[in-house]
Amino acid sequence: MRASRISLIVIGLIAIISYFTLFTVLEVKNAIVLQFGDPKRVITEPGLNFKIPFIQNVIFIDNRILDIDAPAAEIIASDQKRLIVDAFVKFKIVDVLEFYKALGNENVARSRISAVVNSRIRGVLGEEPLASVLSENRSKLMKQITSLVEAEVRDFGIEIVDVRIKRADLPEANSQAIFARMQTEREREAREFRAQGAEMAQKIRSTADKEVTIIKSQAEKEANIVRGEGDGMANKVFAEAFGKDPEFFAFYRAMQAYTEGLNSDDTTMILSPESEFFEYFGDFSSVGN
């Protein structure tokens, strides 16, 4: 029993000593061993490591690419236009010891980098007009900003991987004013297009009416010519027929006159019985008897 108790005590002591002595460095971390706050060694390789218990402690620093969502900043472009810029930063801690000495931890680093990025964004974009910031030239400007930020934080043991603008918008008041101006401009363009359309429609109608008038006139002219030619041919035929049998022709013309003059039930005609109109009606002298 006594031997068992001693074994348990020894195992417990070993476990306690191991807990305060051994530590593991993961692949995504680097480690700094501190002795009373003073860095003693840097561990960049993953695996099991040792420290002096109660005298030394270990802090871990991420060695992956980290990102910062910088707070939105309002800038004034060179043409005095206001712009709200929301950017993000990707960075990596490449010198663990320098990073610890300069900044201490990631929270301080994020705050410091955000301040530097906002400052450089204001400085670079403030020298450009709004149209340049919103155009394809923005990639060139972002490379310039990245270089400036990289130069300023290099002494912190940090490498800037990229700086990008997520959003670049006008302030709300400016957006409303620009929207109203754009709406007015579009309405003006719409009125111009409608006026041009009405003018073109009027021209088309006028041209069509002119062509219709010309076509009708030409058709009437041709119809009159054809009608005249037909009347001429008819008169010629009548003349030839009249020349061959004048008496029959006179009779035929009289019948036509009767048809046209007496084609209604209520036709009333007052003529002398001796009129040539009644030549083919017979002798009216016996009517009175």
The answer to whether residue 93 sits within a structural domain is yes
Which residue in 42, 158, 137 sits closest to 95, CA to CA?
158
The pLDDT confidence band at residue 31, using thresholds 50, 70 and 90, is: very high
Residue 286 covered by a domain: no
Task: Indicate whether 78 and 137 sit together in one domain.
Answer: yes
Domain boundaries, position 49: 2-62
Confidence class of residue 131 from pLDDT cuts 50, 70 and 90? confident
- Calculate mean pLDDT across residues 200-209: 89
Average pLDDT over residues 7-30: 80
Residues 45 and 70 in one domain: no
Distance of alpha carbon 158 from alpha carbon 148, whole angstroms: 13
Judge whether residue 286 has pLDDT over 50.
Answer: no
Are the CB atoms for 281 and 272 separated by under 8 Å?
no
> What is the per-residue DSSP string for 142-179?
HHHHHHHHHHHHGGGTEEEEEEEEEEEE--HHHHHHHH
- Beta carbons of 142 and 163 less than 8 angstroms apart: yes
What does the pLDDT read at residue 77? 77
Residue 123 shares a structural domain with residue 46: no
The mean predicted confidence, pLDDT, of the chain is 80
Structure tokens at 171: 């302030």
Checking if the pLDDT of 212 tops 60, the result is yes
| pLDDT value, residue 85 | 83
Residue 134 has a pLDDT of 73
Q: What is the CATH number of the domain that holds 110?
A: 3.30.479.30
Whether residue 240 is predicted with pLDDT greater than 80 in this model: the reply is no
pTM of the model: 0.53
